[in-house]
Structure 1
Amino acid sequence: MPPLRSFLSHLRTAFLLMGLVMGLVSISVDPVLALGGPQPPLDQPAPTFSLPSSQEETAVQLRDYRGQWVVLYFYPQDFTPGCTLEAQRFQKDLPQYQALNTQILGVSVDDLQSHEAFCDAEGLKFPLLADTTGGVSKAYGSWLSGNALRHTYIIDPQGILRERFLGVRPAIHSQEVLARLKELQAQG
């Protein structure tokens, strides 16, 4: 391949990956093996975790939310445009989630200080969890080159993984999650 063609091919790949991480590009992917790694299976217990939280004194564990639905969303980095927009949309819709007995949890590799500053700056009232080692992101197949990917999971009150969203678009994602959450709850 001539040097210019090779360079352009690599550049196109880099922009696609950047768009995916920032949530600017959405693609259809095989849900079993998505960009980032193998996905946990639906209708099975969700991977457990224990992570420090921007809102809690002690580590947050998935089992803390038994009896509630959980929207567990992974995002690349605090204070970036796509991540800020996504967090703002979840915050705007928080009363609707609460009315559906649902807890929102955001996860990135940022540390607690960054999460606390992000929550303060954006008025976020839901916990952001610090996955600084990437272990939980990897368990959920949401890991690429040192950052969490923009993936979201719905977990039912018994801790069963019921839905996944891969490569989401921040501007409309919260409404997509709400719609699917209502469908799942109506199914019983």
Structure 2
Amino acid sequence: MMAIELGDALPDLELAGADGAALRLRDKVGAPLVLYFYPKDDTTGCTREAQDFSALYPEFRAAGVDLLGVSPDTPAKHAKFTAKYDLTVPLASDEAHGVMEAFGVWVEKNMYGRTYMGVERATFLFAADGTLAQVWRKVRVAGHAEQVLAAARALG
């Protein structure tokens, strides 16, 4: 499957919300949407990223922007992660990796000579009409949430 590219429409795919309920991406059309993918709950970089997005969540909402973090973790793990760090950013689960594959973020990785499949940290910004406006791949966490907020505000 080809990964989504700039100008493409938000795919009609389904995730599990943190409460386990089905969440359709196409239902998010109508407001700008930041969809960020991260490897694993409760790890150093992923925790920092979730905390950064949570700290700015009120500013995203004030700008009319929806925000959603996605990892392969279960809804129950998301609930623990959210409670442990008092996160406000909404999280969703993609345990089967279908959404991650569609976005091209379920990739082959290599660490210490071991090859495995995992999540490439990436963020996608969709305009209110559901078209992909900006992409950040191989994200470095420091300062990223602020950069995404600035880009989301610039959509107008």
Normalised by the length of structure 2, the TM-score is 0.88
SS in 1 for 2:151: helix
Q: Which residue number in structure 2 is paired with residue 8 of structure 1?
A: none
Distance 2:28 2:11 in 1: 13
Please list, as runs of the form range in 1=range in 2, the aligned pairs for 1:53-92 lying within 5 A after superposition.
53-54=17-18, 56=19, 58-92=21-55
Residue by residue over 1:124-182, the C-alpha shift from the partner in whole angstroms, topping out at 9 and shown as x without a partner, is 22321110011100100101233221000001112111110011111211011011112
The answer to whether the aligner puts 1:153 opposite 2:116 as a matched pair is no
> Which structure: greater helix fraction?
1
Aligned-pair identity in percent equals 36
Larger CA Rg, structure 1 vs 2: 1
> Which structure: greater strand fraction?
2
Please list, as runs of the form range in 1=range in 2, the aligned pairs for 1:144-183 lying within 5 A after superposition.
144=107, 145-183=116-154
Q: Which residue number in structure 2 is paired with residue 44 of structure 1?
A: 8
**Count of aligned pairs:** 148
Q: Which residue number in structure 1 is paired with residue 92 of structure 2?
A: 129
Distance 1:132 1:182 in 2: 31
Aligned residue identity for 1:97? F
Please report how far the alpha carbon of residue 78 of structure 1 lies from its aligned counterpart in structure 2 after TM superposition.
0.3
Please report how far the alpha carbon of residue 95 of structure 1 lies from its aligned counterpart in structure 2 after TM superposition.
1.0
Distance 1:66 1:40 in 2: 16
Distance 1:114 1:101 in 2: 28
SS in 2 for 1:40: coil
SS in 2 for 1:176: helix
Please list, as runs of the form range in 1=range in 2, the aligned pairs for 1:7-22 lying within 5 A after superposition.
none
Contact 2:124–2:135 (Cα < 8 Å) also in 1: yes
SS in 2 for 1:115: helix
Residue by residue over 1:94-149, the C-alpha shift from the partner in whole angstroms, topping out at 9 and shown as x without a partner, is 11100111111011111111111111111122321110011100100101233221
Distance 1:51 1:62 in 2: 8
**Higher mean Cα deviation, 140-149 or 171-180?**
140-149
